[in-house]
Amino acid sequence: MSGIRSRPLIPLLTGLLLLTWPILIWFGLRHNGLQVLLPLLALVLVLRLQQTRRLAGPLRGVTQVVAAVGITLCTASYLLKTHQLLLFYPVVINIVMLAVFGGSLWSAMPIVERLARLQEPDLNDAAIRYTRRVTQIWCAFFIVNGSIALLTSLYGDMALWTLWNGMVAYLLMGTLMAVEWLVRQRVKRQHNR
């Protein structure tokens, strides 16, 4: 029974790790604890990688790549005893997301359409055009966010890096999701008349 209950804990723990990555790195640097923290982060990411084997859907590969990159950065930073590599994790995530979202624009079905079809398998032409536009907007977000993440990584100010990558980027992402949801409701109402 305990094995069944613990399974949801791994996705929750690994998801929390990814969301708090900038804060954990800042904390580890601030308190001289990265050499202890890095193996723990790598272990959680290994669990995340194993967990993805049971996943299905369009974002499975993204989850695997993001976990593998995190493991690589943690291991390299631990062995080289440097934190600079860890600062590029948000940059890599934005590059991977841009590749997935942008690459899907060249396929028959953009990623946002695939995700939308999980809830509504029969999308009309207007909805298909809308999902393509949303995919393009997310691509623009990943370009801007990834560029700023890169600048904060190169600049090396940990307070600025943590502020952008640990708070501002998430606020902007949440705002984009909320605005998109509101626009989607309006578009649905217009096309259901």
- Mean of pLDDT over the chain: 87
Please compute, for residue 28, the number of CA atoms within 13 A of its CA located in the half-sphere on the CB side.
Answer: 24
Residues 131, 112: contact at Cβ < 8 Å?
yes
Q: Which pLDDT score, from 0 to 100, does residue 30 have? A: 85
pLDDT of amino acid 193: 61
So where are the chain's domains? 2-191
Alpha helix segments (H runs only) across the chain: 2-6, 9-30, 34-51, 60-80, 89-104, 111-119, 125-155, 158-163, 169-191
Q: Are 60 and 118 in contact (CB under 8 A)?
A: no
Residue-level pLDDT at 5: 47
pLDDT for residue 167 is more than 80: yes
Band (23; pLDDT cuts 50, 70, 90): confident
The letter for the amino acid at 83 is H
pLDDT value for 7: 61
Task: Give the pair of three-digit tokens for residue 11.
Answer: 């996705």
Average pLDDT over residues 13-39: 84
Selection from 56, 145, 131, 44 nearest residue 94 by Cα? 145
Cα separation, 131 vs 104, in Å, equals 11
pLDDT of amino acid 58: 63
Structure tokens at 122: 């029969």
Interatomic CA distance for residues 136 and 166, integer angstroms: 24
- Say whether pLDDT at 34 is over 50: yes
pLDDT of residue 138: 97
* Model confidence pTM above 0.75: yes
Q: What is the pLDDT of residues 95-126, one digit of tens each?
A: 999 999 999 999 989 999 988 888 888 888 88
